[in-house]
A and B are shown apart, each in its own frame.
Chain A
Amino acid sequence: MERKIMFSCVDISKDFSGMHALDRVNMEIYEGEIIGLIGENGAGKSTLLKIIMGFQQQTSGKMCIYNELFAPMSTKEANQRGIGMVYQEQSLVANLTVAQNIFFGFEKRFLRFGFVDWGRINREAKEVMKECGAEGIDPKKKVSELNFATRQMVEISKVLNSVKMSGASKYLILLDEPTSLLNDEEIKILFCQVRRLREEGHSVIFVSHRLDEVLELTDRIYVFKDGSCVGEVKTPGADEGVLYEMMVGRSSSGEYYKVERQTVPEEEIILEVEELCLIGAFKDVSFQLHKGEALGICGVVGSGKEELCSVIIGDEKADRGKVTVFHSEKKFRSPEDALRCGITAIPKERRTEGIIGIRSVGENITISNLKKLGKGIFLSGRTVEEKGNEWIERLAVKCKDVNSPVQLLSGGNAQKVVFARALQSGCKILILNHPTRGVDIGAKEEIYSLIRDITEQGVAVIILGDTLEECIALSSTILVMKDGLVTKRYDAPKENKPEQVDIVRFMM
């Protein structure tokens, strides 16, 4: 039986103020097919998804659904044609219930004498979730009470529901990094659901930075690089090496984490934490940080590691305990105080805490260091540009120029700007809160090199890794936290790294 082409793109291009985000991309998706979409950050994956969903319109080219022209101007229009998207950062409204979220925007259907019939919404939400294999979630629960994995299920149910209401017989579901916040068990459930969609004849576009997942799940893979599609691979027969090479144009190596460059911490203690306590988050945490040390803190969400970092950089105040920096006791009231002592952080949420989106690359890079860059009270705009250009070159940041707003940069490049900001501040202690979150493999590798560079220069780093593997590989010392307590401390010299399974025992 001939399979029908469900969705196609022909020569889609998108320009952003002179930069090609997409360059003549062609794509065909058959009914009942799972397509993998991979590429480095800034390769154009997100832009393509945005165009398909009607968030943005292409500069040239066209899209078709079953050979019928498709030119959505909004998400709603895309939904009406049977296309739905599950976002990387979830789009649920946290203070509404599960059922309210699923039928968000469709309340009109449930009106009874002008009022919403919540009972019926809850019943139907239950039905919808059952169809998606997510039974067992109480539709009356507020989303804020659910954990991330469950929210993801709700999100998927919501998207499926909204395309179902379109009446289209076959759907196309876009999944943008759906697994980044899930654990292995949850990923399995998600994959089951995706495969079920395929069996029913629907199609899925799956975007992920984890190549193993892409290889496991998809039928066909499109590889993106610098805004164009550099290859189309049938999944059976492909392996990570091949994909990796296509994506970055250079071959992967075993020394991914640059473990051989790991430094041995020096004698000098530059930060000492004694019996630090923040009520409701962590208790009696003590550790020492040496010059040139990379201290990894492992623990599940809720173990208190995030809050510990917040206290160290002065974003939150400890209830008890002592923090000694360079042999003098400190009580930081703000990140400004911490910065003065040479401590700064790469925050976890890049878009909201890391970058100042509408301001320029140069301003972002210099903002932590203006006091030293100025002459007296004055500061020339040119100094800011010069410093910005210096870092753009050093870290190979891809941007139009030093004056373009950071929000136009891709995730990986924006993260490099945040790093440049921290390094320009001349910090002695750098806290890396998920430094490679939402960053592609190429940029990740560059960031790993950078971390090695700075520890070689004697900067001490505290790492909250994106994955356990990353945390182990990068750190020379590892603290394991569970329920707000430090449960284990490992030395992790480069020759003798602890095993993941051992660490997990102290985390769970």
Chain B
Amino acid sequence: MKILIKKKLPDISTWIGLAAIVSLIVLFSAMNSSFGKADNISNILTDISPLLLMASGVTFIIVVGSTDLSIGAVCSLSSILFVRYAEHIGLGAYVLIAAAGLISGLVIGILQARFKVPSFIASLGMMSIWESLALVFSNSGTIQLNPKLWYTVDWMSAKISIIPVVFLAALLIVFIYLLIQHSTRIGKYVYAIGANERAAWMAGVPVEKVKIACFGAAGVCYALGGVMFVAKMVSGSPNVGDNYTLLSIAAVALGGTSMAGGRGSVVKTMIGVAVVMIVRNGMTVTGVDSFWQKIVYGMIIIIAAYLTADHTNKEQIIK
């Protein structure tokens, strides 16, 4: 019975996260009455969707003990590719950008898992490549989506009551991740690899395949995140994703997923995303300068990483 109760209750960091969300909502509502209006809520949910998607993708990568800095670059490139190629292949552009994201992730995954290039370096390199390609494909400027093609992204802006469809789409993918995390062996493998890669390898866990799969799936998430921006702005931009590498990792860290791997969850990331977006939206609504916003995110990521760092390391020295 005791075990049952314990299992039902999320741990302290989750409660702290939820408390933060509630208090932030109260704070910003008090500071600006328009914060709690239906329009703004709808706005927040639309804004939150791409981040939710990208942060969920990178969660598994972090749990597995790696990291990914190509998030924003893949997102930007995919927004450009979508606008460019929807002209020719219409809805097929979704397949195209999903494939692009997949390949990008697989490349980093293979470099890391097979060739032992640190994921930090591999993804930093890919980031530079994708950023440049985004500039090449867009002639270094925003490109508009042909109004004839708006139908390809319109469905995302539709709303059910005040909930935008794009948010539901993001939730669906989060749910799939959650299912993998909880109810498949891949979920168990991800945690085992992050916790002790060597032991997992010796126990016959398909370490390479799982890592490569994590990166591949995350790549698709980043790319779909890019399309969500197209839906919002009916244009593609080579720097639309720029902030999102920082924001995604901040959200994961803030949720309480350990940067050292082996501990964490997509649910935690959802809470982290909510906190980050409420802070962001709240700062915008209350008129905080966007340069200052970035300072806040930077601080969030460092503090969150400090809070989730393994302070118990002391114990392991003696063992």
Interface residues of B in 198-241 (CB under 8 A from A): 198-208
The answer on a CB contact under 8 Å between A353 and B262 is no
Given contacts A359-B192, A378-B184, A379-B188, contact A50 B199 (CB under 8 A): no
Which residues of B are found within 8 Å of A55, using beta-carbon distances? 314-315, 317-318
Which residues of A are found within 8 Å of B185, using beta-carbon distances? 370-371, 373-374, 377, 379
Least CB separation from A355: chain B residue: B199
Pick the contact of B205 from A367, A374, A403 — CB < 8 Å?
A367
Distance, CA A53 to CA B317, complexed state (A): 12
Distance, CA A379 to CA B208, complexed state (A): 21
Which residues of A are found within 8 Å of B3, using beta-carbon distances? 401, 403
Given contacts A351-B319, A377-B184, contact A335 B201 (CB under 8 A): yes
Min Cβ gap B263→A in Å is 7
**Does A286 interact with chain B (Cβ within 8 Å)?**
no
B contact face: mostly helix, strand, loop, or mixed? helix
Distance, CA A270 to CA B205, complexed state (A): 23
**Does B195 interact with chain A (Cβ within 8 Å)?**
yes
The answer on a CB contact under 8 Å between A344 and B204 is yes
B: number of interface residues (CB 8 Å): 32
**0/1 per residue, B234-266, Cβ < 8 Å to A?**
000000000000000000000000000011000
**0/1 per residue, B148-184, Cβ < 8 Å to A?**
0000000000000000000000000000000000111
Given contacts A87-B318, A353-B199, contact A358 B263 (CB under 8 A): yes
Which residues of A are found within 8 Å of B188, using beta-carbon distances? 363, 366-367, 370, 379, 384
The answer on a CB contact under 8 Å between A381 and B182 is yes
What are 27 A-B pairs with beta-carbon distances under 8 A? Answer: A50-B318, A55-B315, A87-B318, A315-B201, A334-B201, A335-B204, A336-B201, A339-B204, A347-B202, A352-B199, A356-B200, A356-B262, A358-B195, A359-B196, A363-B188, A367-B192, A368-B204, A371-B185, A373-B185, A374-B185, A378-B183, A379-B183, A379-B184, A379-B187, A384-B188, A403-B7, A407-B316
Interface centre among B188, B196, B199, B201 (most CB of A within 10 A): B199
**0/1 per residue, A1-33, Cβ < 8 Å to B?**
000000000000000000000000000000000
Which residues of B are found within 8 Å of A373, using beta-carbon distances? 185
Interface centre among A336, A373, A407 (most CB of B within 10 A): A336
Which residues of A are found within 8 Å of B205, using beta-carbon distances? 336, 367-368
Distance, CA A315 to CA B198, complexed state (A): 10
Distance, CA A371 to CA B210, complexed state (A): 14
**Does B189 interact with chain A (Cβ within 8 Å)?**
yes
Which residues of B are found within 8 Å of A384, using beta-carbon distances? 188
**Does A425 interact with chain B (Cβ within 8 Å)?**
yes
Which residues of B are found within 8 Å of A371, using beta-carbon distances? 185
Interface residues of A in 301-357 (CB under 8 A from B): 313, 315, 334-336, 338-340, 344-345, 347, 351-357
Which residues of B are found within 8 Å of A315, using beta-carbon distances? 201-202
**Does B191 interact with chain A (Cβ within 8 Å)?**
yes
**Does A380 interact with chain B (Cβ within 8 Å)?**
yes
Extra pairs beyond A335-B201, A374-B185 (15, CB < 8 Å) = A53-B318, A334-B201, A336-B207, A339-B204, A351-B319, A352-B199, A353-B202, A357-B316, A358-B263, A363-B188, A367-B189, A368-B204, A373-B185, A379-B183, A380-B183
